Amino acid sequence: MRWRIADATIALVGVGLAVLLRLSLLDFKSIDYFNYTKVWYGVLKTTGFSAFGGDFSNYNLPYLYVLYLVARFLPDVPAHIATKIPSLAADFVAAWLVFRIVRLKYADSIFPSFAALAILFAPTLVLNSAFWGQADAIYASAILASVYFLMRRQPNRALLLFGLALAFKAQALLLLPLIVGLVLRRDISWRHLAWVPAVLFLALLPAMLAGRPFGDLLLIYPAQAGQYEQLSLHAPSAWAWIPDTGRFYPYFYPAGLILSAAAGLAFALALYWAPAKLTPSLILELAVLSVTIMPFLLPKMHERYFYLADVLCIVLAFHVPKYYWAPLLMISISFFSYQPTLFGAEPVPMGLLALGVCILIIGLSRHVLLLMSATSTDDGGVVAVQ
C-alpha cells in the first residue's frame, strides 16, 4: 500500500507540473501557425464539415478531423491554443503508453512512472507540442501503441495502430523496416498487413462523403513529398554534410531515396536471417534503430522527423537501463536542431549534430547485431512475436 501511495503521489505531482509547464508556453505563435494551422482552423471553423470537400490543407485528413472537432465543440478557445489541443492531449497519451511499455518489464517498480514523466518533461517533446504547436505527438502515440502490441505478440492490433499512425503522418513509415522484417520472419502474417490500407481508406471516407474526389486524396502525401527541394531541412541527417545548394539536389535526392530503400531492405533481411528469438526488449531496440536510421539516410527530412527517435530512446533507456545515454544524446541533438527554425540560431553546426546521430546508430547497431546473431537473447525468455 505504501508503494502504491508513493507511486500515485509522484504521478499526480508530475502530471500537474507537466500541465503547468505546457500552460506557460501556450501563447507562443510560430511561423507555421500563421502560415498553416491558423488558416486551416479558420476554414474549418467558418465552413464546417463541408470544408473537407475541397483542398484547403496539405495535411492528411485525420489531423484535420480532430481540428474540426475542436472548432465544433470548443469554439470560444483562441485559435492559437485550440490548434495545440490535439498535440497536448497526445503528449499525455504517449506518456501513458510509455508507462505501459516499461511496465511490461518492471511491473512492481517505480520505473514506469518515471518513464512516463520523462516523456512529459523531455525538452523537444514539450517544445514540439506546447510551444511550436506541431502534431508529431499524435502519430507518435499510435506508433508507441503499435510497438507495445508487437512486444505483447498481438500483431493484429499492432498493424491496426501502425495504419492509424500512417493515416496521421507519412513519417510513420520510418518504422516500416521493422514491420517488413517481422513479416519476412512470419512473426507477422501477411494478412495482418490488410489493416493498413483498411485504416487509410476509412480515414479518407469522411472527406469523400463531403465531396472530395478519391484521386485527390491519394495525392496528399506525394504533394507533401514534393513541397521542398532541399536535401535537409535543419535535420541532423547524413545530408547535412552536403552543401545545401540547388546544384546538388537533382543528383542526391534520387540517390538518397535509393540508398534509404537499400538500407531499409538490408535491415529487414538482417532481421529475417537472424537466428535469435525476438524478446520484447530486442523488438524495442529494433524499433529505435529503424526510426533513427531511416531519417538519418532519407533526404528532405525536417528536424522534427527524429521525434520518434527521441520518444523511443527514452523508452529504451528505461526498459534497458544500460542505454541511459541514448535519450541524453538523441534529445540533445534534436534540441539543437530545433534552434534554427524556432529561434533563428544555430549554436551547434548541423554537421556535428549529424555526427552525433551517426554515433548513436553505431552504438545501437553493435548491440542489436550481437543479440540477433545469438541463438538466444539475454533479457528475458519471451519468444518471438506470433
Q: Could you read off the pLDDT of 120-154 as tens digits, one per residue?
A: 999 999 999 999 999 999 999 999 999 999 999 99
Confidence of residue 384 (pLDDT cuts 50, 70, 90): very low
Which of 170, 204, 210, 168 has the alpha carbon at shortest distance from 43? 210
Distances 355 to 125, 203, 286, 350, 351 between C-alpha atoms, Å: 22, 38, 21, 9, 6
Structure-block grid coordinates of residue 255? 540517390
Q: How many CA atoms lie within 13 A of 54 on its CB side?
A: 9
Query: CA 233, 128, 12 angle in degrees (round to 5)?
Result: 160
Burial of 204 (0-12, 13-18, 19+ CB in 10 A): buried
CA end-to-end span of the chain, whole Å?
36
Report the greatest alpha carbon distance in the chain. Answer: 66
Backbone angles phi, psi at 54, to 5 degrees: -120, 180
Please write the tens of the pLDDT for every residue from 147-156: 999 999 999 9
Which of 146, 133, 119, 127 has the alpha carbon at shortest distance from 79? 133
Between CA 203 and CA 256 the distance in angstroms is 30
Confidence of residue 224 (pLDDT cuts 50, 70, 90): confident
Please write the tens of the pLDDT for every residue from 345-364: 999 999 999 999 999 999 99
* Cα 122 to chain centroid, rounded: 14
Beta bridge partners of residue 208, listed in sequence order: none
Which of 117, 72, 81 has the alpha carbon at shortest distance from 98? 117
Please write the tens of the pLDDT for every residue from 295-344: 999 999 999 999 999 999 999 999 999 999 999 999 999 999 999 999 99
* Mean pLDDT across the chain: 92
Confidence of residue 229 (pLDDT cuts 50, 70, 90): confident
Which of 288, 276, 92 has the alpha carbon at shortest distance from 185? 276
- Measured N-to-C along each axis, helices 85-103 and 111-121 cross at an angle, to the nearest 10 degrees, of 150
Lowest mean pLDDT among 66-80, 212-226, 282-296: 212-226
